Structure 1
Amino acid sequence: MSDLAAFRPLVGELVVEPDGWGVVGTPTNFYATAETHTMSGELFDVPIEVRWTPTSYVFDYGDGTSETSTASGTAWRGPEESWTETTTSHTYASRDDVTASLTVVFTAEVDAGGGWFPVPGTLPVAAPSVGVKIFEVGTVLTNGDCMANPTAAGCGG
């Protein structure tokens, strides 16, 4: 595996939904964009192809917790899924600015013209870190639409 490390697999990125922020007590969605891919090159002056396959993902949520998953996670599909728990989401307990990170663990297969064969071992590759801003949200009961009547009870006017 160390001979193949020079090929350096494409790690993709860590995506945080919604758009790099979250709310205390509500799931924040994380997913990885790494995919199986093939690279061409030479090893010991022999042309080869290397197929990299992500096999696990280590999500570090930046608040002292992390999770290892065989799933890369998925994006929320529209507003009906926003703020719902996913296999790779995380719920923060306090308001903070954190830095989340992702390590993708790859396996490799090599083809030097005679077919694919597996390479023993794995290669962990870090994706770029992502800043995540966690907010606290409070609710307020109002007497009607505050935009139409800003002086109504609960509207602060």
Structure 2
Amino acid sequence: MASDQNRTSSSFGQHSMNLIAFTVDGESGKLVPKLGVNVDEDPNQYMYDLQCRVEEDAIGMACLPGELQCPPKEPGGEEGIPIVWKYAPKALQNPTWTQWRPVNGQPVCLYDAEPQNVLANIAARILSDFRQLPVNAGELSAQPFPHTLRGGPTNFFANATEQTFDVSILGQSVHLVATPASYTFNFGDGTSLGPTPISGGPIPEQEWLSEATRTSHVYEQTGDFPATVTSSFTGTYSVNGGPALPINGTLDLATAPRTIQVWTTETALVAENCLNDPTSWACPRWSTPR
């Protein structure tokens, strides 16, 4: 690969940037497009440069002995290209090499037979791939549980967590991050709360049934109610160690239902105790429908 014969062409728009880098193919001697980038809804524009380039048309010879090695991923495959991702504000038109900043300062290997298509093709399908990840929806918790009282606040909270995945898409290494962003609580009695960015949290036992939280609910009827919470995950993805890009869409996952048994309280004056008469009102052997 004649890396010192690289050329670069780019075009900038108001909301996106397209960049295509070309290199001379080591076998055919033809100019081969290497990468196409289309980044929307992002304040920065992105591109990559060879690891050992020091100026637009100059290669740092002293860098070459320590250049990152990118062997084929499989026998007979193509070698990768040692590159460094860079970024600059979209408002900066036609930035020079010295105005571009390394995203993470670390070289990475770029692989693809037709790299001018890979990022655009991944971007076109990333939401579908994101929604197929085995993301854990977490659980719904309630205080008190499983029994609560009619007319008193029951504290609900979700415990979904951020999760990361490393997958292969179109032969490229893709790192995805799923982050819970909002929650919709369904209390099982026909009422719900959300979407809300508030996940809730546990409170001390002495505050159960007396202190209302921002995610608590008051049941007006007795009975058994299947409560759930749906967590809405947003995501980012990066290709071959490149910049983290937002995924345009969410992954909405509901937890398994948890049955809340809502009881009511009754008071009465009694003359006996359970030792003298185990069948007396409110003794363990005494029962009445809730």
| TM-score normalised by structure 2 residue count | 0.48
Question: Conserved in 2, the CA contact under 8 Å of 1:142 and 1:155?
Answer: no
Question: Conserved in 1, the CA contact under 8 Å of 2:130 and 2:251?
Answer: no
Q: Structure 1 residues 155, 92: CA separation in 2 closer, same or farther (over 3 Å shift)? A: closer
Match of 1:60 in 2: 186
Match of 1:71 in 2: 198
Q: Distance in 2 between matches of 1:49 and 1:141?
A: 66
Shift of 1:123: 1.4
Q: Does 1:133 align with 2:261?
A: yes
Q: 5+ unaligned residues in a row in structure 1: which ranges?
A: none
Match of 1:109 in 2: 236
Match of 2:171 among 20, 35, 45: 45
Q: Which amino acid aligns with 1:26?
A: G
Match of 1:9 in 2: 135
| 1:5-53 deviation per Cα after TM superposition (whole angstroms, max 9, x unaligned) | 1213221111122122210000111111101221222222211111111
Shift of 1:155: 8.3
Q: Distance in 2 between matches of 1:47 and 1:85?
A: 47
Between Structure 1 and Structure 2, the one with more strand by share is 1
| 1:37-90 deviation per Cα after TM superposition (whole angstroms, max 9, x unaligned) | 2122222221111111111111000000011121111012x3232222111110
Give the number of the structure with larger relative contact order, counting CA–CA contacts within 8 Å between residues 6 or more apart. Answer: 1
State the number of aligned residues: 151
Instruction: Name the SS of the counterpart of 1:3 in structure 2.
Output: helix
Instruction: Name the SS of the counterpart of 2:132 in structure 1.
Output: helix
Q: Does 1:94 align with 2:221?
A: yes
Structure with the greater alpha carbon radius of gyration: 2
Instruction: Name the SS of the counterpart of 1:54 in structure 2.
Output: strand
Q: Distance in 2 between matches of 1:100 and 1:115?
A: 39
Shift of 1:142: 6.6
Question: Conserved in 2, the CA contact under 8 Å of 1:21 and 1:28?
Answer: no
Shift of 1:138: 1.7
Instruction: Name the SS of the counterpart of 1:137 in structure 2.
Output: coil
Q: Distance in 2 between matches of 1:54 and 1:2?
A: 18
Shift of 1:133: 0.5
Q: Structure 1 residues 79, 148: CA separation in 2 closer, same or farther (over 3 Å shift)? A: farther
Match of 2:14 in 1: none
Match of 1:24 in 2: 150
Please say which of residues 84-93 and 11-20 is displaced more in the overlay. Answer: 11-20
Identity of aligned residues (%): 31
Please say which of residues 33-42 and 59-68 is displaced more in the overlay. Answer: 33-42
Between Structure 1 and Structure 2, the one with more helix by share is 2
* Large movers: runs of 4+ above 6 Å: 147-150
